Structure 1
Amino acid sequence: MLLASAGVMSGVAQAQEKGTVNLAYVEWSDAVASTNVMRAVLEKAGYNVELTSLSAAVMWQALATQDADAITTAWLPTTHADYYGRVGDQVEDFGANLDGTKLGLVVPKNSSLDSISDINTHSDELGGKIVGIDPGAGMMGVTEEAIEEYGLDINLQSGSGATMTAALEAAIKNNEEIVVTGWTPHWMFARWDLKYLEDPKNAFGGAEQIHTIVRQGLEEDMPEAYAILDNFEWTPKELGEVMLMNQKEGSDPYQNAKQWVEDNPEIVSEWIPETATSS
Protein backbone atom coordinates (compact mmCIF):
# COMPACT_ATOMS: atom_id res chain seq x y z
CA MET A 1 0.00 0.00 0.00
CA LEU A 2 2.83 2.38 0.83
CA LEU A 3 4.48 1.65 -2.51
CA ALA A 4 1.20 2.23 -4.34
CA SER A 5 0.68 5.50 -2.49
CA ALA A 6 4.20 6.58 -3.32
CA GLY A 7 3.56 5.83 -6.99
CA VAL A 8 0.38 7.91 -6.95
CA MET A 9 2.14 10.80 -5.23
CA SER A 10 4.99 10.60 -7.74
CA GLY A 11 2.52 10.80 -10.61
CA VAL A 12 0.76 13.78 -9.04
CA ALA A 13 4.07 15.58 -8.47
CA GLN A 14 5.13 14.91 -12.06
CA ALA A 15 1.88 16.33 -13.42
CA GLN A 16 2.18 19.39 -11.22
CA GLU A 17 5.74 19.90 -12.42
CA LYS A 18 4.85 19.58 -16.11
CA GLY A 19 1.86 21.89 -15.79
CA THR A 20 -1.77 21.99 -16.82
CA VAL A 21 -2.96 22.04 -20.42
CA ASN A 22 -6.34 23.67 -21.03
CA LEU A 23 -8.11 22.22 -24.05
CA ALA A 24 -11.13 24.14 -25.34
CA TYR A 25 -13.84 22.54 -27.43
CA VAL A 26 -17.43 22.80 -28.60
CA GLU A 27 -20.03 20.15 -27.73
CA TRP A 28 -19.91 18.53 -31.16
CA SER A 29 -19.55 14.76 -31.31
CA ASP A 30 -16.24 14.88 -33.21
CA ALA A 31 -14.86 17.58 -30.91
CA VAL A 32 -15.86 15.70 -27.75
CA ALA A 33 -14.15 12.58 -29.09
CA SER A 34 -10.89 14.18 -30.24
CA THR A 35 -10.54 16.46 -27.22
CA ASN A 36 -10.98 13.62 -24.75
CA VAL A 37 -8.50 11.46 -26.64
CA MET A 38 -5.98 14.28 -26.51
CA ARG A 39 -6.68 14.67 -22.79
CA ALA A 40 -5.93 10.99 -22.23
CA VAL A 41 -2.72 11.20 -24.28
CA LEU A 42 -1.44 14.31 -22.50
CA GLU A 43 -2.20 12.74 -19.12
CA LYS A 44 -0.29 9.64 -20.22
CA ALA A 45 2.66 11.95 -20.88
CA GLY A 46 2.40 13.37 -17.34
CA TYR A 47 0.33 16.56 -17.73
CA ASN A 48 -2.71 17.76 -15.87
CA VAL A 49 -5.47 18.52 -18.38
CA GLU A 50 -8.53 20.72 -18.05
CA LEU A 51 -11.34 20.68 -20.61
CA THR A 52 -13.44 23.79 -21.22
CA SER A 53 -16.64 23.61 -23.25
CA LEU A 54 -17.36 26.87 -25.11
CA SER A 55 -19.23 28.21 -28.09
CA ALA A 56 -17.19 28.22 -31.30
CA ALA A 57 -16.60 31.98 -31.29
CA VAL A 58 -15.54 32.05 -27.63
CA MET A 59 -13.32 28.99 -28.16
CA TRP A 60 -11.29 30.78 -30.79
CA GLN A 61 -11.15 33.97 -28.73
CA ALA A 62 -9.89 31.98 -25.73
CA LEU A 63 -6.91 30.84 -27.80
CA ALA A 64 -6.17 34.40 -28.90
CA THR A 65 -6.26 35.68 -25.30
CA GLN A 66 -4.30 32.63 -24.08
CA ASP A 67 -7.10 31.55 -21.76
CA ALA A 68 -6.97 28.19 -23.58
CA ASP A 69 -3.87 26.35 -24.77
CA ALA A 70 -5.17 24.38 -27.72
CA ILE A 71 -8.09 23.10 -29.76
CA THR A 72 -8.16 19.94 -31.89
CA THR A 73 -11.32 20.78 -33.81
CA ALA A 74 -10.76 23.70 -36.17
CA TRP A 75 -12.60 23.09 -39.45
CA LEU A 76 -10.66 24.80 -42.23
CA PRO A 77 -10.46 26.36 -44.74
CA THR A 78 -14.22 27.13 -44.92
CA THR A 79 -16.28 26.47 -41.80
CA HIS A 80 -14.09 28.35 -39.32
CA ALA A 81 -12.64 30.78 -41.84
CA ASP A 82 -14.27 33.78 -40.17
CA TYR A 83 -12.92 32.90 -36.73
CA TYR A 84 -9.46 32.18 -38.08
CA GLY A 85 -9.50 35.43 -40.03
CA ARG A 86 -10.05 37.36 -36.80
CA VAL A 87 -7.36 35.74 -34.64
CA GLY A 88 -5.06 33.94 -37.07
CA ASP A 89 -2.12 36.22 -36.29
CA GLN A 90 -2.50 35.46 -32.55
CA VAL A 91 -2.45 31.65 -32.74
CA GLU A 92 -0.38 28.87 -34.30
CA ASP A 93 -1.90 26.46 -36.82
CA PHE A 94 -0.37 22.95 -36.79
CA GLY A 95 -2.27 22.01 -39.91
CA ALA A 96 -4.57 19.03 -40.39
CA ASN A 97 -4.95 16.33 -37.76
CA LEU A 98 -7.62 14.71 -39.95
CA ASP A 99 -8.33 14.66 -43.69
CA GLY A 100 -11.48 13.56 -45.47
CA THR A 101 -14.22 15.79 -44.10
CA LYS A 102 -17.34 17.02 -45.84
CA LEU A 103 -20.06 19.58 -45.13
CA GLY A 104 -23.54 19.87 -46.55
CA LEU A 105 -27.24 19.34 -46.09
CA VAL A 106 -28.29 15.81 -45.21
CA VAL A 107 -31.53 13.86 -45.65
CA PRO A 108 -32.64 10.26 -45.13
CA LYS A 109 -31.52 8.07 -48.04
CA ASN A 110 -35.13 7.42 -49.13
CA SER A 111 -35.96 11.14 -49.25
CA SER A 112 -37.52 12.49 -52.43
CA LEU A 113 -35.03 15.38 -52.28
CA ASP A 114 -31.79 14.89 -54.19
CA SER A 115 -30.42 18.43 -54.50
CA ILE A 116 -30.40 21.60 -52.43
CA SER A 117 -32.36 23.09 -55.30
CA ASP A 118 -35.26 20.76 -54.44
CA ILE A 119 -35.84 22.30 -51.00
CA ASN A 120 -38.20 25.08 -52.09
CA THR A 121 -40.62 22.66 -53.74
CA HIS A 122 -40.75 20.56 -50.55
CA SER A 123 -40.85 23.41 -48.03
CA ASP A 124 -44.26 22.47 -46.63
CA GLU A 125 -43.21 18.85 -46.09
CA LEU A 126 -40.12 20.12 -44.28
CA GLY A 127 -42.15 22.32 -41.96
CA GLY A 128 -40.53 25.38 -43.53
CA LYS A 129 -37.18 24.69 -41.87
CA ILE A 130 -33.75 23.17 -42.08
CA VAL A 131 -32.72 21.74 -38.71
CA GLY A 132 -29.34 23.11 -37.64
CA ILE A 133 -27.02 23.07 -34.65
CA ASP A 134 -25.79 25.71 -32.20
CA PRO A 135 -26.16 29.28 -33.49
CA GLY A 136 -22.47 30.15 -33.05
CA ALA A 137 -21.22 27.26 -35.18
CA GLY A 138 -19.44 28.01 -38.43
CA MET A 139 -21.65 25.41 -40.09
CA MET A 140 -24.65 27.63 -39.44
CA GLY A 141 -23.03 30.60 -41.14
CA VAL A 142 -22.13 28.52 -44.18
CA THR A 143 -25.70 27.19 -44.32
CA GLU A 144 -27.16 30.71 -44.17
CA GLU A 145 -24.97 31.63 -47.13
CA ALA A 146 -26.15 28.51 -48.99
CA ILE A 147 -29.79 29.46 -48.35
CA GLU A 148 -29.10 32.86 -49.90
CA GLU A 149 -27.07 31.38 -52.77
CA TYR A 150 -29.91 29.03 -53.74
CA GLY A 151 -32.69 31.56 -53.05
CA LEU A 152 -34.38 29.20 -50.59
CA ASP A 153 -37.60 30.31 -48.90
CA ILE A 154 -36.92 28.40 -45.72
CA ASN A 155 -35.73 29.04 -42.16
CA LEU A 156 -32.60 27.68 -40.53
CA GLN A 157 -33.56 26.41 -37.08
CA SER A 158 -30.78 26.57 -34.49
CA GLY A 159 -30.38 24.22 -31.57
CA SER A 160 -27.53 21.82 -30.82
CA GLY A 161 -25.94 18.73 -32.27
CA ALA A 162 -28.08 16.63 -29.95
CA THR A 163 -31.37 18.29 -30.89
CA MET A 164 -30.48 17.98 -34.58
CA THR A 165 -29.88 14.24 -34.39
CA ALA A 166 -32.99 13.78 -32.22
CA ALA A 167 -35.09 15.52 -34.87
CA LEU A 168 -33.47 13.38 -37.57
CA GLU A 169 -34.20 10.18 -35.65
CA ALA A 170 -37.84 11.16 -35.11
CA ALA A 171 -38.33 11.99 -38.80
CA ILE A 172 -36.82 8.67 -39.88
CA LYS A 173 -39.03 6.72 -37.48
CA ASN A 174 -42.13 8.55 -38.73
CA ASN A 175 -41.05 8.36 -42.40
CA GLU A 176 -41.15 12.16 -42.66
CA GLU A 177 -39.08 14.51 -44.79
CA ILE A 178 -36.32 16.42 -43.00
CA VAL A 179 -33.19 18.34 -43.96
CA VAL A 180 -30.42 18.78 -41.40
CA THR A 181 -27.01 20.38 -41.38
CA GLY A 182 -24.49 17.57 -41.66
CA TRP A 183 -20.81 16.82 -41.77
CA THR A 184 -18.43 13.92 -42.04
CA PRO A 185 -17.09 12.43 -39.83
CA HIS A 186 -20.26 12.00 -37.74
CA TRP A 187 -21.70 8.94 -36.03
CA MET A 188 -25.14 9.51 -37.56
CA PHE A 189 -23.91 8.10 -40.89
CA ALA A 190 -23.10 4.82 -39.15
CA ARG A 191 -26.48 4.67 -37.43
CA TRP A 192 -28.83 5.62 -40.30
CA ASP A 193 -28.92 5.44 -44.10
CA LEU A 194 -28.37 9.06 -45.11
CA LYS A 195 -27.27 11.06 -48.12
CA TYR A 196 -25.94 14.53 -48.82
CA LEU A 197 -28.06 16.73 -51.04
CA GLU A 198 -26.25 17.57 -54.25
CA ASP A 199 -24.69 21.04 -54.18
CA PRO A 200 -24.32 22.14 -57.81
CA LYS A 201 -23.45 25.70 -56.79
CA ASN A 202 -20.71 24.38 -54.46
CA ALA A 203 -22.05 26.57 -51.67
CA PHE A 204 -20.53 24.32 -49.00
CA GLY A 205 -17.15 24.21 -50.71
CA GLY A 206 -14.97 21.17 -51.20
CA ALA A 207 -13.51 18.77 -48.68
CA GLU A 208 -12.17 20.31 -45.51
CA GLN A 209 -9.66 19.34 -42.87
CA ILE A 210 -9.77 19.39 -39.09
CA HIS A 211 -6.79 21.33 -37.72
CA THR A 212 -5.05 21.58 -34.37
CA ILE A 213 -4.55 25.20 -33.26
CA VAL A 214 -2.52 26.33 -30.24
CA ARG A 215 -1.94 29.59 -28.45
CA GLN A 216 1.23 31.59 -28.91
CA GLY A 217 3.92 30.80 -26.36
CA LEU A 218 2.87 27.19 -25.74
CA GLU A 219 6.14 25.82 -27.14
CA GLU A 220 8.17 27.79 -24.60
CA ASP A 221 5.85 27.02 -21.68
CA MET A 222 5.19 23.29 -22.29
CA PRO A 223 7.39 21.97 -25.09
CA GLU A 224 6.39 18.30 -24.73
CA ALA A 225 2.67 19.12 -24.79
CA TYR A 226 3.35 21.34 -27.81
CA ALA A 227 5.10 18.44 -29.57
CA ILE A 228 2.28 15.98 -28.79
CA LEU A 229 -0.33 18.36 -30.17
CA ASP A 230 1.82 18.95 -33.24
CA ASN A 231 2.19 15.18 -33.81
CA PHE A 232 -1.52 14.44 -33.39
CA GLU A 233 -2.93 12.99 -36.61
CA TRP A 234 -5.50 10.25 -37.23
CA THR A 235 -8.08 9.01 -39.73
CA PRO A 236 -11.86 9.41 -40.02
CA LYS A 237 -12.15 5.69 -39.24
CA GLU A 238 -10.23 6.08 -35.98
CA LEU A 239 -12.20 9.14 -34.95
CA GLY A 240 -15.40 7.31 -35.89
CA GLU A 241 -14.51 4.46 -33.53
CA VAL A 242 -14.41 6.85 -30.58
CA MET A 243 -17.57 8.69 -31.66
CA LEU A 244 -19.51 5.42 -31.83
CA MET A 245 -18.24 4.43 -28.38
CA ASN A 246 -19.62 7.71 -27.07
CA GLN A 247 -23.10 6.98 -28.39
CA LYS A 248 -23.61 4.00 -26.10
CA GLU A 249 -26.13 4.85 -23.42
CA GLY A 250 -24.50 5.85 -20.16
CA SER A 251 -20.98 5.87 -21.60
CA ASP A 252 -18.38 8.41 -20.47
CA PRO A 253 -16.42 10.11 -23.31
CA TYR A 254 -13.34 10.45 -21.10
CA GLN A 255 -13.35 6.77 -20.10
CA ASN A 256 -13.97 5.80 -23.72
CA ALA A 257 -11.02 7.93 -24.81
CA LYS A 258 -8.74 6.33 -22.22
CA GLN A 259 -9.84 2.89 -23.39
CA TRP A 260 -9.18 3.79 -27.03
CA VAL A 261 -5.73 5.11 -26.13
CA GLU A 262 -4.93 1.87 -24.29
CA ASP A 263 -6.23 -0.21 -27.22
CA ASN A 264 -4.19 1.69 -29.84
CA PRO A 265 -0.63 1.99 -28.49
CA GLU A 266 1.01 2.00 -31.93
CA ILE A 267 -1.00 5.03 -33.05
CA VAL A 268 -0.55 6.89 -29.77
CA SER A 269 3.20 6.23 -29.67
CA GLU A 270 3.56 8.25 -32.86
CA TRP A 271 2.15 11.29 -31.07
CA ILE A 272 4.24 11.17 -27.88
CA PRO A 273 7.87 12.26 -28.25
CA GLU A 274 10.53 9.86 -26.97
CA THR A 275 11.55 12.50 -24.43
CA ALA A 276 8.10 12.47 -22.80
CA THR A 277 7.86 10.42 -19.61
CA SER A 278 4.72 8.38 -19.00
CA SER A 279 2.80 9.09 -15.82
Structure 2
Amino acid sequence: MKNKKLSLFLVFLFGMLVIAGCGQVDEPAEQVESKGTIKIGKNNWAENIAVSNMWKILLEEKGYEVELVSADKSVVYLGVSEGELDIGMEVWLPITDARYVEEYGHGFTVQDMWYENTSLGLVVPSYMEVNCITELNDYADEYGGRIVGIDPGSSLMQLTEEAIEHYDLNYELIESSDSAMMADLERAYGNDEPTVVTLWSPHYAFAYYDLKYLDDPAGIYGESDDIVFITREGFEDDHPEVLSWMNTWFMDDDSLGELMGIIEEVGDPVEGANMWIQDNQDLISQWIN
Protein backbone atom coordinates (compact mmCIF):
# COMPACT_ATOMS: atom_id res chain seq x y z
CA MET A 1 0.00 0.00 0.00
CA LYS A 2 2.82 2.39 0.91
CA ASN A 3 4.51 1.71 -2.42
CA LYS A 4 1.25 2.42 -4.22
CA LYS A 5 0.78 5.72 -2.37
CA LEU A 6 4.37 6.66 -3.11
CA SER A 7 3.88 5.91 -6.80
CA LEU A 8 0.73 8.01 -6.92
CA PHE A 9 2.54 10.86 -5.16
CA LEU A 10 5.42 10.72 -7.65
CA VAL A 11 3.00 10.72 -10.58
CA PHE A 12 1.19 13.72 -9.06
CA LEU A 13 4.44 15.54 -8.43
CA PHE A 14 5.68 14.87 -11.97
CA GLY A 15 2.39 16.13 -13.38
CA MET A 16 2.61 19.35 -11.40
CA LEU A 17 6.16 19.94 -12.63
CA VAL A 18 5.04 19.43 -16.22
CA ILE A 19 2.14 21.83 -15.78
CA ALA A 20 4.39 24.38 -14.15
CA GLY A 21 6.89 24.05 -16.98
CA CYS A 22 4.21 24.42 -19.65
CA GLY A 23 2.78 27.46 -17.93
CA GLN A 24 6.08 29.28 -17.79
CA VAL A 25 6.16 32.40 -19.95
CA ASP A 26 9.17 34.18 -21.23
CA GLU A 27 9.83 37.71 -20.09
CA PRO A 28 8.02 40.14 -22.43
CA ALA A 29 10.16 41.86 -25.03
CA GLU A 30 11.19 45.35 -24.06
CA GLN A 31 8.60 47.83 -25.27
CA VAL A 32 9.43 51.31 -26.54
CA GLU A 33 7.60 53.79 -24.33
CA SER A 34 5.00 55.75 -26.27
CA LYS A 35 5.97 59.38 -26.77
CA GLY A 36 2.57 60.54 -28.00
CA THR A 37 0.78 60.84 -31.33
CA ILE A 38 1.93 62.91 -34.31
CA LYS A 39 -0.46 63.67 -37.15
CA ILE A 40 1.14 64.24 -40.54
CA GLY A 41 -0.84 65.82 -43.36
CA LYS A 42 -0.22 63.94 -46.61
CA ASN A 43 -1.37 64.84 -50.11
CA ASN A 44 -1.41 62.57 -53.11
CA TRP A 45 1.91 63.51 -54.73
CA ALA A 46 4.43 60.72 -55.22
CA GLU A 47 7.23 62.36 -53.25
CA ASN A 48 4.82 63.35 -50.47
CA ILE A 49 3.53 59.78 -50.13
CA ALA A 50 7.11 58.53 -50.08
CA VAL A 51 8.54 60.82 -47.40
CA SER A 52 5.39 60.71 -45.26
CA ASN A 53 5.53 56.94 -45.02
CA MET A 54 9.29 57.04 -44.49
CA TRP A 55 8.94 59.39 -41.53
CA LYS A 56 6.01 57.42 -40.13
CA ILE A 57 8.22 54.35 -39.92
CA LEU A 58 11.23 56.24 -38.53
CA LEU A 59 9.20 57.99 -35.84
CA GLU A 60 7.34 54.83 -34.83
CA GLU A 61 10.70 53.14 -34.34
CA LYS A 62 11.46 55.90 -31.83
CA GLY A 63 8.28 55.34 -29.86
CA TYR A 64 5.83 57.79 -31.46
CA GLU A 65 2.40 56.89 -32.75
CA VAL A 66 2.05 58.42 -36.20
CA GLU A 67 -1.16 59.03 -38.11
CA LEU A 68 -1.04 59.94 -41.79
CA VAL A 69 -3.99 62.13 -42.73
CA SER A 70 -4.72 62.28 -46.46
CA ALA A 71 -6.04 65.62 -47.66
CA ASP A 72 -5.82 68.13 -50.49
CA LYS A 73 -2.94 70.53 -50.18
CA SER A 74 -5.05 73.49 -49.07
CA VAL A 75 -6.68 71.35 -46.37
CA VAL A 76 -3.24 70.36 -45.05
CA TYR A 77 -2.29 74.04 -44.68
CA LEU A 78 -5.54 74.78 -42.90
CA GLY A 79 -5.18 71.74 -40.64
CA VAL A 80 -1.67 72.64 -39.53
CA SER A 81 -2.64 76.28 -39.08
CA GLU A 82 -5.54 75.34 -36.79
CA GLY A 83 -3.52 72.74 -34.87
CA GLU A 84 -5.52 69.76 -36.17
CA LEU A 85 -2.38 68.46 -37.87
CA ASP A 86 1.15 68.56 -36.48
CA ILE A 87 3.18 68.52 -39.69
CA GLY A 88 2.69 69.43 -43.34
CA MET A 89 5.39 67.60 -45.25
CA GLU A 90 5.66 69.54 -48.49
CA VAL A 91 5.70 73.29 -49.03
CA TRP A 92 7.24 74.79 -52.19
CA LEU A 93 8.85 78.17 -51.57
CA PRO A 94 9.44 80.97 -52.34
CA ILE A 95 7.05 80.86 -55.31
CA THR A 96 4.59 78.02 -55.81
CA ASP A 97 2.99 77.81 -52.37
CA ALA A 98 3.57 81.40 -51.28
CA ARG A 99 -0.15 82.19 -51.35
CA TYR A 100 -0.90 79.34 -48.91
CA VAL A 101 1.76 80.58 -46.52
CA GLU A 102 0.37 84.10 -46.77
CA GLU A 103 -3.18 82.88 -46.07
CA TYR A 104 -2.53 80.34 -43.33
CA GLY A 105 0.98 81.12 -42.09
CA HIS A 106 -0.20 82.88 -38.94
CA GLY A 107 -0.86 79.46 -37.39
CA PHE A 108 2.23 77.49 -38.34
CA THR A 109 6.01 77.69 -38.52
CA VAL A 110 7.98 77.20 -41.74
CA GLN A 111 10.85 74.81 -41.05
CA ASP A 112 14.04 73.89 -42.92
CA MET A 113 14.48 72.82 -46.54
CA TRP A 114 14.65 69.09 -47.30
CA TYR A 115 14.89 69.27 -51.12
CA GLU A 116 16.22 72.05 -53.38
CA ASN A 117 15.73 73.21 -56.96
CA THR A 118 12.33 71.93 -57.94
CA SER A 119 10.73 72.28 -61.37
CA LEU A 120 7.14 72.16 -62.55
CA GLY A 121 5.21 72.82 -65.73
CA LEU A 122 3.82 71.14 -68.81
CA VAL A 123 5.63 67.96 -69.78
CA VAL A 124 5.53 65.75 -72.89
CA PRO A 125 7.40 62.65 -74.05
CA SER A 126 10.65 63.61 -75.78
CA TYR A 127 9.52 61.99 -79.05
CA MET A 128 6.86 64.71 -79.50
CA GLU A 129 7.75 67.60 -81.84
CA VAL A 130 6.50 70.41 -79.62
CA ASN A 131 9.13 72.17 -77.49
CA CYS A 132 7.40 75.32 -76.25
CA ILE A 133 3.99 76.10 -74.77
CA THR A 134 3.47 78.69 -77.51
CA GLU A 135 3.55 75.87 -80.10
CA LEU A 136 0.81 73.78 -78.51
CA ASN A 137 -2.05 75.28 -80.54
CA ASP A 138 -0.30 74.15 -83.74
CA TYR A 139 -0.80 70.56 -82.56
CA ALA A 140 -4.16 70.89 -80.77
CA ASP A 141 -6.00 68.44 -83.04
CA GLU A 142 -3.12 65.96 -83.11
CA TYR A 143 -2.74 66.05 -79.33
CA GLY A 144 -6.45 65.78 -78.62
CA GLY A 145 -6.78 69.32 -77.25
CA ARG A 146 -6.37 68.28 -73.64
CA ILE A 147 -3.86 68.60 -70.81
CA VAL A 148 -4.05 65.87 -68.18
CA GLY A 149 -3.70 67.42 -64.75
CA ILE A 150 -3.73 66.34 -61.13
CA ASP A 151 -5.90 67.21 -58.09
CA PRO A 152 -7.80 70.48 -58.57
CA GLY A 153 -6.66 72.12 -55.33
CA SER A 154 -2.97 72.11 -56.22
CA SER A 155 -0.93 75.18 -57.13
CA LEU A 156 0.25 73.40 -60.27
CA MET A 157 -3.32 73.20 -61.57
CA GLN A 158 -3.96 76.87 -60.84
CA LEU A 159 -0.75 77.84 -62.60
CA THR A 160 -1.77 75.70 -65.58
CA GLU A 161 -5.12 77.49 -65.76
CA GLU A 162 -3.16 80.75 -65.87
CA ALA A 163 -0.94 79.35 -68.61
CA ILE A 164 -3.95 78.30 -70.70
CA GLU A 165 -5.40 81.79 -70.41
CA HIS A 166 -2.12 83.63 -70.97
CA TYR A 167 -1.09 81.61 -74.00
CA ASP A 168 -4.72 81.38 -75.26
CA LEU A 169 -4.44 77.60 -75.57
CA ASN A 170 -7.18 75.62 -77.26
CA TYR A 171 -6.85 72.91 -74.66
CA GLU A 172 -9.05 71.59 -71.86
CA LEU A 173 -7.39 71.01 -68.49
CA ILE A 174 -8.50 67.61 -67.15
CA GLU A 175 -8.73 67.37 -63.36
CA SER A 176 -7.58 63.98 -62.07
CA SER A 177 -4.86 62.85 -59.65
CA ASP A 178 -1.18 61.97 -59.68
CA SER A 179 -1.95 58.28 -60.25
CA ALA A 180 -4.51 58.96 -62.99
CA MET A 181 -2.15 61.39 -64.73
CA MET A 182 0.65 58.81 -64.57
CA ALA A 183 -1.65 56.13 -65.97
CA ASP A 184 -2.37 58.35 -68.96
CA LEU A 185 1.34 59.07 -69.44
CA GLU A 186 2.23 55.38 -69.20
CA ARG A 187 -0.43 54.42 -71.74
CA ALA A 188 0.58 57.14 -74.22
CA TYR A 189 4.30 56.48 -73.82
CA GLY A 190 3.85 52.74 -74.32
CA ASN A 191 2.06 53.38 -77.61
CA ASP A 192 4.25 56.28 -78.81
CA GLU A 193 1.20 58.51 -78.67
CA PRO A 194 1.08 62.22 -77.81
CA THR A 195 0.05 63.47 -74.40
CA VAL A 196 0.51 66.69 -72.44
CA VAL A 197 0.58 66.41 -68.64
CA THR A 198 1.24 68.58 -65.62
CA LEU A 199 4.38 67.35 -63.87
CA TRP A 200 7.02 68.39 -61.41
CA SER A 201 10.47 67.47 -60.18
CA PRO A 202 11.09 65.56 -57.98
CA HIS A 203 9.00 62.78 -59.52
CA TYR A 204 9.81 59.18 -60.34
CA ALA A 205 8.36 59.64 -63.86
CA PHE A 206 11.65 61.13 -65.05
CA ALA A 207 13.48 57.96 -64.02
CA TYR A 208 11.12 55.77 -66.05
CA TYR A 209 10.45 57.83 -69.18
CA ASP A 210 12.33 60.16 -71.51
CA LEU A 211 10.41 63.40 -70.94
CA LYS A 212 10.88 67.13 -71.47
CA TYR A 213 9.43 70.30 -70.00
CA LEU A 214 7.89 72.68 -72.52
CA ASP A 215 9.57 76.08 -72.56
CA ASP A 216 7.55 78.72 -70.73
CA PRO A 217 8.61 82.12 -72.18
CA ALA A 218 6.26 84.11 -69.94
CA GLY A 219 7.52 82.39 -66.80
CA ILE A 220 4.04 81.40 -65.66
CA TYR A 221 5.43 78.46 -63.71
CA GLY A 222 8.12 80.57 -62.10
CA GLU A 223 11.65 79.82 -61.08
CA SER A 224 12.90 76.84 -59.08
CA ASP A 225 11.58 76.38 -55.56
CA ASP A 226 12.89 74.55 -52.53
CA ILE A 227 10.75 72.13 -50.50
CA VAL A 228 10.34 72.76 -46.77
CA PHE A 229 7.94 71.42 -44.14
CA ILE A 230 5.65 73.22 -41.70
CA THR A 231 4.66 72.52 -38.09
CA ARG A 232 1.79 73.73 -35.94
CA GLU A 233 2.34 76.33 -33.27
CA GLY A 234 3.84 74.74 -30.15
CA PHE A 235 5.21 71.68 -31.92
CA GLU A 236 8.79 72.68 -31.16
CA ASP A 237 7.97 72.66 -27.43
CA ASP A 238 6.03 69.39 -27.52
CA HIS A 239 8.44 67.39 -29.68
CA PRO A 240 11.85 69.09 -29.81
CA GLU A 241 13.76 65.93 -30.75
CA VAL A 242 11.48 65.27 -33.74
CA LEU A 243 11.95 68.82 -34.94
CA SER A 244 15.72 68.46 -34.57
CA TRP A 245 15.72 65.27 -36.65
CA MET A 246 13.50 66.69 -39.37
CA ASN A 247 15.44 69.94 -39.63
CA THR A 248 18.56 67.83 -40.29
CA TRP A 249 16.77 65.80 -42.96
CA PHE A 250 17.77 66.42 -46.58
CA MET A 251 17.33 64.38 -49.78
CA ASP A 252 18.71 64.82 -53.28
CA ASP A 253 17.54 63.48 -56.64
CA ASP A 254 19.30 60.15 -56.13
CA SER A 255 18.03 59.39 -52.62
CA LEU A 256 14.49 60.66 -53.17
CA GLY A 257 14.29 59.14 -56.64
CA GLU A 258 15.37 55.77 -55.27
CA LEU A 259 12.76 55.93 -52.49
CA MET A 260 9.95 56.82 -54.91
CA GLY A 261 11.15 54.24 -57.44
CA ILE A 262 11.12 51.38 -54.92
CA ILE A 263 7.63 52.32 -53.75
CA GLU A 264 6.40 52.41 -57.34
CA GLU A 265 7.99 49.02 -58.11
CA VAL A 266 6.58 47.17 -55.10
CA GLY A 267 3.24 48.97 -55.28
CA ASP A 268 3.05 49.60 -51.55
CA PRO A 269 4.35 52.76 -49.82
CA VAL A 270 4.92 51.08 -46.46
CA GLU A 271 6.77 48.09 -47.85
CA GLY A 272 8.76 50.27 -50.24
CA ALA A 273 9.71 52.78 -47.56
CA ASN A 274 10.77 49.95 -45.25
CA MET A 275 13.00 48.49 -47.96
CA TRP A 276 14.58 51.87 -48.64
CA ILE A 277 15.18 52.50 -44.94
CA GLN A 278 16.97 49.19 -44.52
CA ASP A 279 19.27 50.04 -47.44
CA ASN A 280 20.02 53.60 -46.32
CA GLN A 281 20.91 53.37 -42.64
CA ASP A 282 24.04 55.50 -43.09
CA LEU A 283 22.03 58.39 -44.50
CA ILE A 284 19.32 58.08 -41.86
CA SER A 285 21.92 58.10 -39.09
CA GLN A 286 22.92 61.57 -40.31
CA TRP A 287 19.37 62.79 -39.57
CA ILE A 288 18.62 60.85 -36.40
CA ASN A 289 21.41 60.45 -33.87
Q: TM-score, normalised by structure 1?
A: 0.90
Work out which of the residue numbers 186, 211, 229 in structure 2 matches 1:169.
186
Structure 1 residue 197 corresponds to structure 2 residue 214: yes
2:188–2:194 contact (8 Å) kept in structure 1: yes
Superposition deviation, residue 92 in structure 1: 0.6
What code does the residue aligned with 1:256 have?
G
1:55–1:137 contact (8 Å) kept in structure 2: yes
Superposition deviation, residue 168 in structure 1: 1.0
> For 1:60 and 1:167, how far apart are their aligned partners in 2?
29
Q: Which residue of 2 aligns with 1:28?
A: 45
> For 1:110 and 1:195, how far apart are their aligned partners in 2?
9
Superposition deviation, residue 170 in structure 1: 1.5
> For 1:100 and 1:266, how far apart are their aligned partners in 2?
24
Work out which of the residue numbers 22, 26, 36 in structure 2 matches 1:2.
26
Residues 183-226 of structure 1: per-residue CA shift (max 9 Å, x gap): 11111111111111111211111111111111110011122122
Rg larger for: 2
> For 1:209 and 1:41, how far apart are their aligned partners in 2?
23
Structure 1 residue 146 corresponds to structure 2 residue 163: yes
The residue correspondences of 1:52-63 to structure 2 (distance < 5 A) are 52-63=69-80
Q: Which residue of 1 aligns with 2:202?
A: 185
> For 2:101 and 2:281, how far apart are their aligned partners in 1?
33
Q: Which residue of 2 aligns with 1:255?
A: 271
Give every structure 1 segment of 4 or more consecutive aligned residues whose post-TM-superposition deviation is greater than 3 Å.
Answer: none
1:106–1:195 contact (8 Å) kept in structure 2: yes
Where structure 1 has 5 or more consecutive residues not aligned to the other structure, the ranges are 275-279
Structure 1 residue 268 corresponds to structure 2 residue 265: no
Residues 212-267 of structure 1: per-residue CA shift (max 9 Å, x gap): 11111001112212222222211121111111011115x32112212222222222
User: Which is worse superposed, 23-32 or 40-49?
Assistant: 40-49
Superposition deviation, residue 174 in structure 1: 2.6
Query: What is the aligned residue count?
Result: 265
> For 2:73 and 2:88, how far apart are their aligned partners in 1?
11
SS in 2 for 1:247: helix
Where structure 2 has 5 or more consecutive residues not aligned to the other structure, the ranges are 1-24
User: Which is worse superposed, 120-129 or 50-59?
Assistant: 120-129
Superposition deviation, residue 140 in structure 1: 0.4
Residues 76-115 of structure 1: per-residue CA shift (max 9 Å, x gap): 2222222111111211111311012111110010101110
> For 1:258 and 1:122, how far apart are their aligned partners in 2?
44
Greater relative contact order (CA < 8 Å, ≥ 6 in sequence):
1
Superposition deviation, residue 30 in structure 1: 0.6
The residue correspondences of 1:185-264 to structure 2 (distance < 5 A) are 185-249=202-266, 251-264=267-280
> For 1:91 and 1:32, how far apart are their aligned partners in 2?
21
Residues 136-160 of structure 1: per-residue CA shift (max 9 Å, x gap): 1111011111222222222111100
